[in-house]
Amino acid sequence: MNRRVLMLLLASLLLAVLLGQLNHYLGAWQLHVWCGGLFVTLAALRLDFRTGATTAFLAGLLLDAGSPVVFGTHALLFLAAHAVIFNARARAPRDETLVGVIIALLANLGLFLALSFLRIGAASAPGDAWMRNFADLALSQIVLALVAPWFFAIQIRTLQLGGVALRQNSRSLF
Amino acid sequence: MPQQRFDQAKPFLTLALVLAAWLVVPTAVKRFLRAGFFEMQAPVEATASYVRDLQDFWSLKTRSNNELIEAGRDLVHLNAAYEIRLQQDAGLRDEIERLGDLLKLPAPDGYRAEPARIVRRDFSGWWQQIVIRKGCNYGITEGAPVIYVGGVVGRVREVHAYTSVVDLISSPGVRIAACIEGDMRPISYQGGVNPTLAPARGTVEYVPVDIFVTPAAPRRLVTSGLGGVFPANLTIGYITGVEPSTDGLFKTGDVQLEPALSALTEVTVLVPQGPAAGK
């Protein structure tokens, strides 16, 4: 496996575990935080297509493994989000952290709604289920906005520790 | 210009190709990958749960001796009460066995109780599940019922090497054959909407029309024992209200689940033994 992918996958694993711990405590209040947008944003904005897409797909499989969804659901959704961000990245100052945070928020919003549409069929009262989902979405967006700069820094630092120069990498397209 | 268009379309072409390829990947490979990715995370989460237990241990160490003496005294009272119940239970079991022999009835299904600590709670609007710290290493089986002191917790969905995933009864889509306490007619329970900052709820269907329930006089909903998964008479929750269904033949209602279900730290898995193990 590509060293860049491995480094980013390690960072994704760290984020997944930390979010899992946060959700463990929030579960007592029936609250849930989901930050899927964070797993794809930096790789889609700053890395070449193959590395970013592979990282997004593997991070999705990581989340799929612990969720009662068809295996590959998160992975394909993340890949789709990666494709959209990658296509649009030339039009944004993508090295800016604030831009990254905004794109992560938008990606998270899209992914959350997509997953909600996929899961809403199982609910006995879809109207009430959407109310719960919107409450979780609002909390998730707040948490994402708070942790995104830290997670981007972790990802960049992890890549540097792995001997990857992000500046060179982000110039190449495919 | 065509080259630029191709470059722009390349991410989406790749997505389509991956989607097509993923659809034809054999199920065995997907199962292997799923297990692999789960086991990759399991040690980290199990370690976190051990650290939480250690935190609890040290916080309990700060309790004064007086508190411990009071707790010990309460436990002595409880143990005495349970000892009497155990003796009564043994007498009833002997009676059931004697009557079973007389009537030549098949032996009832047995269960081995396997207590397990909770590694992670995952309660979203999409699903409600917990990960427990016992798996294949303790003989946990898929579909095994999971209970706690307040009644039913759920059912084991996946068993891994050292952990298992349990679907909670509050999870949307989970269905259990149930009945109202004191009424043997079966009804259907389904996990429902779990509102934010409130206890989880479920719904019941096919409630007979002669059943009346009001929020002031809720009725206890228990497992019926039908379906062969859950033993009979385990508490699911309390029906707080029923209203006629659209066809008028039955009633539907809301079920209030125990608030403790959202803050569980330990559960018991009933591992089927005897005839039930083969089902």
What is the ipTM, given to two decimal places? 0.89
Q: How big is the CA angle at A48 (ends A47 and A51), to the nearest 5 degrees?
A: 85
Q: Is the dihedral of CA A160, A163, A169, A174 positive or negative?
A: negative
Structure confidence at residue B4 (pLDDT): 66
- Average pLDDT of span B175-196: 89
Q: Which residues contact B167 (CB under 8 A, 6 or more apart)?
A: A68, B127, B128, B129, B154, B155, B156, B157, B174
Test B33 with A61 for CB contact under 8 angstroms: yes
What CATH code would you report for B108-279?
Answer: 2.40.10.340
pLDDT of B278 over the 70 cut: no
Tens-digit pLDDT string for chain A (174 aa): 688 899 999 999 999 999 999 999 999 999 999 999 999 999 999 999 999 999 999 999 999 999 999 999 999 999 999 999 999 888 888 888 999 999 999 999 999 999 999 988 777 778 888 999 999 999 999 999 999 999 999 999 998 887 776 655 554 444
Residue type, B182: G
Residue numbers in B near A75 (CB within 8 A): 22
By the CB < 8 Å criterion, does B34 face chain A? Answer: yes
The reply to whether residue B194 touches residue A132, judged by beta carbons under 8 angstroms, is yes
Residues on chain A touching B8 (C-beta within 8 angstroms) = 87
* Contacting residues of A for B38, CB less than 8 Å apart: 65-66
Contact B129, B166 (CB under 8 A): yes
DSSP summary character for residue B106: P
Q: Regarding predicted confidence, which is higher, B274 or B143?
A: B143
Question: Which residue carries 């009933």 as its tokens?
Answer: B270
Of B257, B43, B44, the residue nearest B168 (C-alpha): B257
Cβ neighbour number for residue B78 with a 10 Å cutoff: 10
* Interchain CB distance below 8 Å, A23 and B124: yes
Distance to chain B for A68, nearest Cα, Å: 7
Mean pLDDT of B126-139: 94
Least confident piece of the model among A124-133, B183-192, B209-218: A124-133
Residue spans in chain B of domains classed CATH 2.40.10.340: 108-279
Find, in chain A, the residue whose alpha carbon is nearest to that of B119.
Answer: A24
The closest CB to that of B123, out of A30, A84, A135, belongs to A30
Comparing C-alpha atoms, which of A109, A30, A22 is closest to residue B171?
Answer: A30
Report residue B279's pLDDT band, with 50, 70 and 90 as the boundaries: low
- pLDDT range class, residue B277, cuts 50, 70, 90: low
Categorize the per-residue pLDDT at B106 as very low, low, confident or very high, splitting at 50, 70 and 90: confident
Does A135 sit within 8 Å of B38, measured CB to CB? no
The alpha helices in A35-174, defined as continuous H runs, are 36-46, 49-65, 73-88, 97-119, 126-161, 166-171
CB atoms within 10 A of CB B214: 11
Of B14, B193, B199, the CB nearest to A128: B193
What value does the mean pLDDT take over residues B6-31?
88
- Long-range CB pairs of B209-217 (<8 Å, 24+ gap) are B209/B244, B209/B249, B209/B250, B209/B251, B211/B180, B211/B183, B211/B242, B211/B251, B212/B242, B213/B239, B213/B240, B213/B241, B213/B242, B213/B253, B214/B241, B215/B240, B215/B241
Helix (H, G, I), strand (E, B) or coil at B279: coil
B128 contacts B168 by C-beta, under 8 angstroms: yes
Contact B122, B166 (CB under 8 A): no
Q: Give pLDDT, residue B1.
A: 56
CA end-to-end span of chain A = 17
Residues in chain B: 279
Checking B48-55 for CB contacts under 8 A at 24+ apart, the result is: B48/A17, B48/A21, B48/B119, B48/B120, B49/B117, B49/B118, B49/B119, B49/B120, B49/B133, B53/B117
* Distance (Å) from the alpha carbon of A57 to chain B's nearest alpha carbon: 10
Q: What is the mean pLDDT of chain B?
A: 89
> Using a CB-CB distance cutoff of 8 angstroms, which residues of chain A are in contact with residue B125?
32, 116, 119, 123, 129, 132-133, 136
Minimal Cβ distance to B45: which of A17, A26, A135: A17
Pairing assessment for the beta strands B151-159 and B201-207 based on DSSP bridges: unpaired
Using a CB-CB cut-off of 8 Å, the residues of chain A touching B18 are 53, 57, 76, 79
Residues 6+ apart with CB under 8 A from B116: B132, B133, B134, B138, B140, B164, B266, B267, B268, B269
What is the DSSP code (8-state) at residue A162? Answer: T
The CB density around residue A154, as the number of other CB atoms within 10 Å, is 16
> B28 Cβ partners below 8 Å, 6+ apart?
none
CB contact under 8 A, A71 and B34: yes
